[in-house]
A and B are shown apart, each in its own frame.
Chain A
């Protein structure tokens, strides 16, 4: 599976937008980009995913570079409840394996 690189930590002020970057320079053509987050004392939860085009849902937006070697998760207005570890994961549904490889993620701190 292709590897992703994320900053260890980021800070944001409440009510401001947050851009969480992810580099995946060895991404293959069939890799989907997934984002999950893990709130304190909880299991990870799905945030968003995309393949080539930018995606929006009620939680966040995903901006994918034209060459797909990087992506950015955008939280439009950070709240204290968004403080979590955010994981960027590449997943090829045709790989024949069931593995999601979680790295160390980005710990987001939201300041009141």
Chain B
């Protein structure tokens, strides 16, 4: 248990569906992150929220839409995805104003797009 939970753990969706991934952190951190991990590839940072404000968006297609309603919750809204978006989606949190901002990861959501 890292203090970061993600739901659902597994998701299968069609290309026309709309779904959302949820992340919750119980660590009192002020920054939250979405990463994508495709098979055989390194983790790719997608979005960063610090104090509920989006501070990084690494050229992610608009079919991925993040939302951070408060410092404990982070969502990733998905719509009209492509099969190549199938991957493990990981959420992380950290205390971003510390000198060593250790990241704590959730277990991930395994997404399959048909």
Contact = CB atoms under 8 A, between A and B. Distances in A.
Interface residues of B, number: 26
A45 B105 contact: yes
B43 A98 contact: no
Interface stretch (A19-27, A65-73, A75-83, A99-107): A99-107
Contact of A32 (B31, B96, B100): B100
Nearest to B6: A43
A98 B54 CA distance: 11
Given A46-B103, A49-B102, A104 B108 contact: no
Interface in B18-42: 31, 33, 42
Contacts of A44: 43, 90, 103, 105
Contacts of B92: 43
A102 B42 contact: yes
Given A93-B101, A99-B56, A43 B107 contact: yes
Given A42-B107, A43-B4, A43-B107, 17 more contacts: A32-B100, A34-B102, A36-B103, A41-B107, A43-B2, A43-B92, A43-B105, A44-B43, A44-B103, A49-B102, A91-B101, A93-B100, A98-B33, A98-B45, A98-B55, A102-B42, A105-B42
Interface of B: 2, 4, 31, 33, 42-43, 45, 48, 50, 55-56, 90-92, 96, 98-108
